[in-house]
A and B are shown apart, each in its own frame.
Chain A
Amino acid sequence: MTRIGKLFESLKRDSRKGLIAYLTAGDPSPDRTPALVEAMVRGGADLIELGVPFSDPIADGPVIQRAGYRALQAGTTLACVVEIARQIRAASEVPLLLFTYLNPVLRYGLERLAADAQAAGIDGCLLTDASVEEAHEYTGAMHRHGLDTVFLAAPTSTPRRLKLVAEYSTGFVYLVSRTGVTGERDSLSNAVAPLVSDMRAATDLPLAVGFGISRPEHVAELGKLVEAVVVGSAFVRLIEQNADNPSLEIQLESFTRELKRGFGAQA
């Protein structure tokens, strides 16, 4: 079992909810990412999604698009992100999920990435733009190297698609809270509750909800429905606005803590 599986076991045992924090690796530069991750972990992040920058991020809104652009300008490649993970792993046992578009992975090589990711201490992978129907080769490579494969399910996913997501996912299933791309929103969509119950009917895996979640009150509300909540763009925006601010790490740590407080007694 990966660190991801163990995390969800321990959350269950302690009746706690998990906070999953996303950042784009290499933003503002590859050498700074490990310290930013450490700050999020100190603030209470339970799992880190390391975003791999891509030139054409169709699933992302403007905030993460800009972060990817900065990371690419700083020379970040998939190989760099694997190296960043290795540095994080040297100092921490936090579960690490690679969050990436398919093309850089194809170019790197599925089998080679699975081997290198495992050696670096990465626990799993999520491909934003690979359909589960075509994912057999990818899941095979990842599973052979002991990595989890997390798939996305959306409010528009058909029952047949949800079944496939359940079949090919390990670790947890990532539910997209609404139709659309990543980015902060003021309110939560009412599509989440029906999606959660449809997905529960298809799998016993833990569920996480992401996309559009940026505030402690969102975390509070979703914590009642699922095992973990993902926050991305709000962290990335904080990094964007404070890239040159010496207090960036302290701000990340306290924002993470604030979000975590949303779970209340369940944190």
Chain B
Amino acid sequence: MGKRRIVAETGAGQHGVATATVCALLGFECVVYMGEEDMRRQRLNVFRMRLLGARVEPVSAGSRTLKDAISEAMRDWVTHVADTHYLLGSALGAHPYPMMVRDFHKCIGEEARRQILEGEGRLPDTVFACVGGGSNAIGIFHAFVPDEAVELVGIEAGGRGNEIGEHAARFRGGAPGVLQGAFSYLLQDTHGQVSLTHSVSAGLDYAMIGPEHALLHDKHRAEYVAASDTEALDAARLLSRVEGIIPALESSHAVAEAIKRAPAAKDKIFVINLSGRGDKDIDIYRENLKELDQE
């Protein structure tokens, strides 16, 4: 493409760190747009991006989260399109982005499917993944879509309540709409203005779900449920204690749903996509699990 400058958006900071890493390796200029609210709550990843030589641009518009970071990255991209490529991090935006992002993530499902067949000799009963825009989820689901006996469960952010503005559960309160070039389920008001969202996890805090998830939902191939902030925090704590894995807050939503279903699932095989590790979320865990942080 001959382009030497990369722009990206990031919510939790994972995609921003990955982009900054690639740019450092290849010697590209790197600008990452990030909502001010997300910069505050994912400080560790902001520092990692800067360490890798990226410029992190704070976005103060709207809810100061992922949606506004994507809008700002798109504005930069269309302005500097001659020398700049936009590395969109989630399965969102205009075609072909959702398809490209799925294809870049589909190795997750291909490897998981191969490993479970090797390890257990059969396919899993259920695959769980958290869904913000939906890149990790579409990545793990894709290889299992033709396996009709395998249940696919996407977990959205239930936030702190059921009112608009308190969650990011698009299948609970959303309706079809267009945002940033994609047509999918969108949290919006009756006049078509996009609603504010809330989630304890920056990576799930977005008003639209990736369009391929809308398709899987409408075809009844995947089921979408929500886990609340509290359920996700409890799940993170449990997984840390019993498995020795500190998960990212995003992935903790998937863990929470698996925990809910586990008592009725003896002899079933669950695959949970632990899409991120919890290092970046330690500050939030400390704020919310104060009893562990006493002298």
How many residues on A have C-beta within 8 angstroms of the other chain's C-beta atoms?
Answer: 27
Distance from B194 Cβ to chain A, minimum over Cβ atoms (Å): 4
Interface string of A50-86 (1 = CB under 8 A from B): 0000111111010001000000100001110000000
Does A115 interact with chain B (Cβ within 8 Å)? Answer: no
Distance from B142 Cβ to chain A, minimum over Cβ atoms (Å): 25
Looking at the complex, which one of B177, B188, B192 makes contact with A78 (CB distance below 8 Å)?
A: B192
Does A264 interact with chain B (Cβ within 8 Å)? Answer: no
Does B294 interact with chain A (Cβ within 8 Å)? Answer: no
Smallest CB-CB separation from A80: which chain B residue? B191
Looking at the complex, which one of A55, A108, A129 makes contact with B194 (CB distance below 8 Å)?
A: A55
A56 touches B192 (CB 8 A): no
A129 touches B181 (CB 8 A): yes
Docked CA distance A100–B145 (Å): 38
Distance from A54 Cβ to chain B, minimum over Cβ atoms (Å): 7
Chain B residues whose C-beta falls within 8 Å of the C-beta of A55 in the assembled complex: 62, 193-194
Distance from B187 Cβ to chain A, minimum over Cβ atoms (Å): 11
B81 touches A54 (CB 8 A): no
Docked CA distance A131–B93 (Å): 13
B179 touches A103 (CB 8 A): yes
Chain A residues whose C-beta falls within 8 Å of the C-beta of B79 in the assembled complex: 179-181
B191 touches A107 (CB 8 A): yes
Looking at the complex, which one of A59, A65, A104, A180 makes contact with B192 (CB distance below 8 Å)?
A: A104
Does A156 interact with chain B (Cβ within 8 Å)? Answer: yes
How many residues on B have C-beta within 8 angstroms of the other chain's C-beta atoms?
Answer: 27
Docked CA distance A108–B68 (Å): 24
Within 8 A of B (CB), among A80-102: 101-102
Does B106 interact with chain A (Cβ within 8 Å)? Answer: no
A106 touches B177 (CB 8 A): yes
Distance from A206 Cβ to chain B, minimum over Cβ atoms (Å): 25
Within 8 A of B (CB), among A102-118: 102-108
Docked CA distance A58–B180 (Å): 7
A107 touches B188 (CB 8 A): yes
Docked CA distance A57–B67 (Å): 11
Chain A residues whose C-beta falls within 8 Å of the C-beta of B78 in the assembled complex: 59, 179-181
Docked CA distance A59–B80 (Å): 14
Docked CA distance A25–B192 (Å): 16
Among A56, A61, A179, which residue has the most Cβ atoms of chain B within 10 A? A56
Does B74 interact with chain A (Cβ within 8 Å)? Answer: yes
Within 8 A of A (CB), among B69-83: 71, 74-75, 78-82
Docked CA distance A72–B94 (Å): 26
A106 touches B192 (CB 8 A): yes
A107 touches B192 (CB 8 A): yes
Chain B residues whose C-beta falls within 8 Å of the C-beta of A58 in the assembled complex: 71, 74-75, 180
Does B284 interact with chain A (Cβ within 8 Å)? Answer: no
Docked CA distance A205–B191 (Å): 33
Docked CA distance A155–B194 (Å): 30
Chain A residues whose C-beta falls within 8 Å of the C-beta of B239 in the assembled complex: none
A107 touches B180 (CB 8 A): no
Smallest CB-CB separation from A57: which chain B residue? B71
A103 touches B62 (CB 8 A): no
Chain B residues whose C-beta falls within 8 Å of the C-beta of A61 in the assembled complex: 75
Chain A residues whose C-beta falls within 8 Å of the C-beta of B82 in the assembled complex: 179
Among B71, B75, B82, B176, which residue has the most Cβ atoms of chain A within 10 A? B75
A103 touches B71 (CB 8 A): no
A156 touches B178 (CB 8 A): no
A129 touches B178 (CB 8 A): yes
Distance from B250 Cβ to chain A, minimum over Cβ atoms (Å): 22
A103 touches B75 (CB 8 A): no
Docked CA distance A54–B179 (Å): 11
Chain A residues whose C-beta falls within 8 Å of the C-beta of B80 in the assembled complex: 179
B74 touches A103 (CB 8 A): no
Smallest CB-CB separation from B81: which chain A residue? A179
Smallest CB-CB separation from A61: which chain B residue? B75
Looking at the complex, which one of B71, B94, B191 makes contact with A56 (CB distance below 8 Å)?
A: B71
Assuming A58-B74, A179-B82, is B67 touching A103 (CB within 8 A)? no
Distance from B291 Cβ to chain A, minimum over Cβ atoms (Å): 40
Residues of B at the A interface (CB closer than 8 Å) are: 61-62, 67-68, 71, 74-75, 78-82, 94, 175-181, 186, 188, 190-194
Residues of A at the B interface (CB closer than 8 Å) are: 54-59, 61, 65, 72, 77-79, 101-108, 129-131, 156, 179-181
Can you show 8 pairs from A to B with CB atoms below 8 A apart?
A54-B192, A55-B194, A57-B71, A58-B180, A59-B78, A79-B191, A104-B192, A181-B79
Having A106-B178, A108-B191, one finds 15 other A-B pairs with CB under 8 Å, namely A55-B62, A55-B193, A56-B62, A56-B68, A58-B71, A58-B75, A79-B191, A103-B192, A105-B192, A107-B190, A107-B192, A129-B181, A130-B178, A131-B94, A181-B79
Q: Give the 9 A-B residue pairs with the shortest CB-CB distance, closest first.
A: A107-B192, A180-B79, A104-B192, A55-B193, A77-B191, A103-B192, A55-B194, A102-B178, A103-B178
